[in-house]
Structure 1
Amino acid sequence: MESGTRRSYRMSARSAAMEVTRTRVIEAAAALWMRQWFDDVTLQHIADEAGVSVQTIVNHFGGKEGLADAVAEWVASQTAVARQAPTGDVAAIVTVLFADYERHGAANVLWTAQMDRVPVAGRAAAHARAQHRAWLEQVFADRLPAPGPDREHALNLHHAATDIYLWKLWRHDLGLSRADAERAMCDLLTSIDPRKRNNA
């Protein structure tokens, strides 16, 4: 008869193996969806990329929508880790943000472009906006007014000044170098500092 310790070990090993498979599928799906439209990527494509069966994906996520939600959560967690920046240091904040945008900006733009017709993309975009706004409240905590209309106005300005589409405009549409684009964003953020405008 199998001992409790041995049974517990086997269950832990199985759970660890399942988590490894789950992560591999999520990373494979993320890689594909960063390059292609949501509708163009099938579960078979993802299974081939991850080296698993379609049934394995279904067992873990229930289907394409469930997998897409898991990918969105995984990307959000990766973003939170990547965007660690000191409060109030505009140059450092912009550098951290650009590092994230340079890695995943094009994929984010692609994903956002589908949000009106792909429900999971809409959910992911809404979560990303909320996450970005919370990040702005954290890294610009030193300059934001107290809760109220003035704070919301300031947050709206900072959101616009750091939006992914502004990065796209500067880096892709206008062809600015990263250094010039970062300088432009720093100048913009400096110009909308509520403390300077209130003292003007």
Structure 2
Amino acid sequence: MESEGKRSYRMGARAAALEATRARIVQAAAEVWSQRWHDEVTLQHIAEAAGVSVQTIVNHFGSKDALYDALADAVAAQTGLSRQAPVGDVPGIVAALFADYERQGDANVLWIAQMDRIPAARRAAAHARGLHRAWLERVFADRLPDAGREREHALDLHYAATDIYLWKLWRRDLGLSRADAERAMRDLLDAIDPRRDQHAQ
């Protein structure tokens, strides 16, 4: 008869293996979807990239859209970990944001471009917008008005100044170096600092 210790170890090892497989599938999905449109990708494409069967993906996620949602959650979690910056440290904030955009900005732009016709992409984009706004509230807490319309207005300006499409404009469309693009964003953030008007009075 199997001991309790051996049974617990076996169950723990099985759970770890399942989690590793799940993570491998999500990583493969990220790689495939970073290069192709959502509706061009099949579960077979992802299965081949992950080295598993289509049935394994179905067992873990149920459907392609459910896998897409899981990928969006994983990207959001990774973004939260990578965007660590002290409150009010504009150079640090911009550097953290660019590290994120340089790593997965092109894939994010591709996903956003599909949100009008792909429900899963729309959900992912809405989730990302909420997370980005919450991040802005945290890292710019020292400069945002306390409440009301002025706070919302300031947040809107900071959102526009740090939006991924602005990164795309500078880095991809205009061909700026990363250093020059980061400088442009820092200058823009300094220009919209609500405290400038107070200091000028």
TM-score by length of 2: 0.97
Deviations 1:115-163 (A, max 9, x none): 0100010000000000000100111010011021111000000000000
After TM superposition, the structure 1 stretch with the greater mean CA deviation from structure 2, 108-117 or 6-15, is: 6-15
Superposition map of 1:7-156 within 5 A = 7-156=7-156
1:198 and 1:115 map into 2 onto residues whose CA distance is 40
Task: Tell me the CA shift for residue 64 of structure 1.
Answer: 0.4
Paired letter, 2:101: Y
Q: Distance in 1 between matches of 2:140 and 2:65?
A: 35
Deviation string 1:100-128 (CA, Å, 9 cap, x unpaired) is: 11111111100000001000100000000
Q: Tell me by how many angstroms 1:176 deviates.
A: 1.3
1:173 Cα deviation from its structure 2 partner? 1.1
Q: Which runs of 5+ in 2 are unaligned?
A: none
SS of corresponding position for 2:55? helix
Identity %: 70
Q: Quick one: which amino acid aligns to residue 108 of structure 2? A: N
Matched length: 200
Deviation of 1:8 (Å): 1.5
Q: CA deviation at 1:96?
A: 1.0
Q: Say which SS state the counterpart of residue 115 (structure 2) adopts.
A: coil
Q: Deviations over 1:54-81 (max 9, x none)?
A: 0000000001011111100000001001
User: TM-score of the superposition, structure 1-length normalised?
Assistant: 0.98
Alpha-carbon shift at residue 166 of structure 1 (Å): 0.6
